[in-house]
Amino acid sequence: FGYKEILLGIMEDDVIGVGGSGKVRRVHLNRRKDRQYQTVALKELRRKRNQAGEELLDKLFDAEVNTLGLMRHPNIITLFCCITGIWTSLLVYEDMQNGSLDQWLHKSRGLLDWPSRVGIATDTARGLSYMHDQAIIHRDVKSSNILLDHNFKAKIGDFGLARVLAKPGESE
């Protein structure tokens, strides 16, 4: 898919979450002859009208892109691409159909059985272990940043506060 397909797929009613830095949308991309349609999650970071807010947004965007660009792991959300413009920066991720863990724990989305709970905890631990092996610290681990796919496989998301630490013998 390309950026035009993503931008043409944005609809007003596709918002699935709102945070301090912007909206998250579920975007259905157009069907192609060679494959079925694809659904992606689109994090839309709106520019602030003041310099301090804009600098903070740029830092969050850079941290997310740079950190996720270093990682490939089954328990870390996949960042497909990013699109930047004058007023908005867009991050395009794989779609996590079952939302975030906090929706299941705190917002009565349903009950999780014990095997699902253990699986989510194990997946999260594997993702964090991988990150720490790469000298990456998330700094914002919470249930709203644990995302669940269609099989309730957990993936860690939201790397706006993450930091890459220098490994022993490297300069920062």
Return the bridge partners of 79, or none: 93
**Whose CA is closest to 22, among 103, 99, 94, 89?**
89
Catalytic residue at 102?
no
Residue 157 has φ and ψ, to the nearest 5°, of: -130, 180
Cα 151–chain centre separation: 17
Write the CA distances from 131 to 7, 77, 126, 166, integer angstroms: 31, 12, 9, 13
Which residue out of 58, 95, 140, 149 is catalytically annotated?
A: 140
Question: Which residues are identified as catalytic?
Answer: 140
